[in-house]
Structure 1
Amino acid sequence: MSALFLHQMIAENGTLQLGGREAAECMDNDEEDQVKALTYIHLFVASLSILGAGSVIVYIVYWRTCRSSEVRPLFHLAIADLCLATCWVVSALVTERTMSGEMNDFCMYLQAIAEAFHLVTFFLTVNYALNVYVRTKDRQNRSNNLRPLMESAVMVWSLRLVIIFSWLLPIALMVPIVYVQVTNATDNECNTSCLLLLEWPSSTRDQESNWLWENYGMLIFVIALFLSIIALMILYGPSYRVYKQLLSQKCISIA
């Protein structure tokens, strides 16, 4: 997840001015060079993500373990990472055309789709942490001759619903802003870079849009990221404690 913010930190330290203006008219040479540099960073980071996620997917499909309850969380997370990385590549490849004032609507949809995949990866990362806790707790229960959690149909279906929720909720969150943009679409005199995380899904095309709609994409992203970090801390803490207890039990049994 940290790789997602590499180019954003570079942009914040620079002097980019990407507030809805056409690059040819609203950017000087230094700013255009910065956008090109960020484009290369996009391509490099996204290529690494595609390589990593693609390798995981190929391995899981090759060994036909994608239906395994233990592998399923990682498989879904790899798919989401691959889709997100693909959006990054596309945004970098079309940036030159968007800087010349073309493909305004395409960037709008791409930003919304990429934002949805960002949220999916956050939620599926939390889902993976939840599965780590459940699997670790099950190992402890088995060592204590207790019933494993995964033998409960309620637990099995709950984990499946978390995966479904992780895919559908981000899509539902992006539908309103896409609808607002489409219904209030107007021709921009200038266009900005199509690079992700430099431009957020918003209703800036609507002259009557308020602050909330103008910053809708950024707010959803920050809130989802913050909640995901909190959830990961809550889940990995107990997982670590259960794992330490499990190790101590094994050491005692060996002694």
Structure 2
Amino acid sequence: KVPMAFLLEVYSAIQWIQFVMATLSIIGSSSLIAYAVFQNIQKSPEMRPLFYLSFSDLLLGICWLIEALLYGTSAANKDIVCYNLQAVGQIFYISSFLYTVNYVWYLYKELRMKHTQSGQSTFSLVIDNTYRVGQIAIISSSLIPLLLMIPVFCLGNASECFRNFSQNHRCILMHSPPSAMAELLPSANTSVCRTLYFYGLIIFLASFLLSLFTIVVLLIQAQTLYKKFVKSTGFLGSEQWAAIHIVEQRVRFYPVAFLCCWGPAVILMIIKLIEPQNTKLHMALYILQALTASSQGLLNCGVYGWTQYKFFQLKQETRRDADTQTPLLSSQKRFYSRGLDPLDSTLAFATSTSTTL
């Protein structure tokens, strides 16, 4: 068991880490929202999930920032505020899971429509259906987390779980376990509060694992469809192979980035189920969780900026390559790629894939 003095030092370090990373996350998500609004692309089908994902990251960052500021203070009703902030935060990060899945699903459907396109009328009908399904999915991504957390709000506040689980570090740790002193408190609702604690933990683990599995499956399917789509044109230009290589990197990168962001929190939750008492391993995971989970908005901003830079670089190289070709080579390239313009179609798909986490 870890000494209390060491615990307090770790909690103080976590407070400052969470404060810094939440601030950077707010800046990153705000910049993505501002970019989408400034470019007037927030309503486009490929940008809408990213816009809502960034908005969830912004609200989640604000929650974590308030929690970090409340830690160690003697504010009135701090236990109530921290308890409800934790529940609100869980709504936002479950929503971010679903919005990420939403966007990957859109990319897969878009590629599938291009691959199976046979007629303009059928294609328009498929676009309309995908647009409607996308709207329903976005609305569901907001409503489902809220409905799942209603018991935590209603039963938790009615049973005064903020008293039974009262600990000073509640404001900086996700899913802080029930206090060891809770069993000694004169409350008839301790069992309800413990049930709600495990309910929230299971909801978090289930939503993360299901989202990660769905993202991996969809991205692998998208990679396979993309190769078939490019090879079906009968000609593979250098920019097409370069785009395939970048898509293959993204298929590996996005699940890894998603896992790195929330993996420490998931591992910590599983270890807590096995060993509730704090150990040095718990402390290390607490710190790692504060570094990764609080930085989701910053990570989204970095991924978006990196992918935009890579495709801008690819576009510039393609144009330089076109400028240095002889007229005969240029005409041959246009002839072989008549069904799929190697610059516009490849970069259009690649750019649309660059905005997801």
Q: TM-score, normalised by structure 2?
A: 0.58
| 2:57 counterpart of 1:81 | yes
- Say whether 1:120 aligns with 2:95: yes
**Unaligned stretches of 5+ residues in structure 1:** 1-13, 16-26
TM-superposed CA distance for 1:90, in Å, is: 1.1
Q: CA offsets per residue over residues 120-178 of structure 1, 9 Å max, x none?
A: 00011100110111122233345x65743774433221111000000011011111111
Instruction: Please say if 1:243 is aligned against 2:218.
Output: no
How much is the aligned-residue C-alpha RMSD, in angstroms? 2.9
AA paired with 2:87? A
| Residues 53 and 81 in structure 1, CA contact (< 8 A), matched pair in contact too | yes
Mapping of residues 162-241 of structure 1, within 5 Å: 162-185=137-160, 187=163, 190-193=166-169, 194-199=171-176, 206-209=189-192, 212-241=195-224
- Provide the C-alpha distance between the structure 2 equivalents of 1:198 and 1:111, rounded to a whole number of angstroms: 8
Whether the aligned pair in 1 keeps the contact of 2:165 and 2:177 (CA below 8 Å) is no
Query: 1:137-156 alignment to 2 at 5 Å?
Result: 137-142=112-117, 147-148=122-123, 151-156=126-131
In the alignment, the residues of structure 1 paired with residue 52 and residue 197 of structure 2 have an alpha-carbon distance, to the nearest angstrom, of 31
User: 2:315 — aligned with what?
Assistant: none
Counterpart code for 2:229: L
- Is the alpha carbon distance of 1:196 and 1:28 closer, same or farther for their aligned partners in structure 2, counting shifts above 3 Å? closer
Q: In the alignment, residue 155 of structure 1 is paired with which amino acid?
A: T
Which of residues 84, 95, 105 in structure 2 aligns to 1:130? 105
Cα deviation code 1:96-119 (max 9, x no counterpart): 126x89501001110100011010
Rate the CA distance shift 1:189–1:223 in 2: closer, same or farther, 3 A.
closer
Which residue of structure 2 aligns with residue 19 of structure 1?
none
Alpha-carbon distance in 1 for matches of 2:101, 2:95: 10
Shift in alpha-carbon separation, 1:91–1:74, aligned structure 2, 3 A: same
SS across alignment from 2:232: helix
Taking the TM superposition and a 5 Å limit, the aligned residue runs for 1:99-118 are: 103-118=78-93
Larger radius of gyration: 2
In 2, Cα distance between the equivalents of 1:150 and 1:218?
A: 41
Give the letter aligned to residue 131 of structure 1.
Y
Separation in structure 2 between the aligned mates of residue 102 and residue 182 of structure 1, nearest angstrom:
12
**Please, which runs of 5 or more residues in structure 2 have no aligned partner?**
236-335, 339-357
Alignment equivalent of 1:58, drawn from 34, 43, 49: 34
Task: Judge conservation of contact 1:91–1:196 (CA < 8 Å) in 2.
Answer: no
Residue 221 of structure 1 and its aligned partner are, at CA, apart by 0.2
Mapped contact 2:56–2:92 kept (Cα < 8 A): yes
Tell me the amino acid that sits aligned with residue 122 of structure 1: F
Deviations 1:177-213 (A, max 9, x none): 1111111117459523111415279xx7722328543
CA contact (8 A) 1:138 1:150 kept: no
Q: Structure 1 residues 196, 117: closer, same or farther in 2, change over 3 A?
A: farther
After superposition, the C-alpha distances for 1:41-99 in whole angstroms (9 at most, x for unaligned) are: 2122222322221111000111111111221111111111111111111111111126x
How far residue 230 of structure 1 moved from its aligned partner, in angstroms, is 1.1
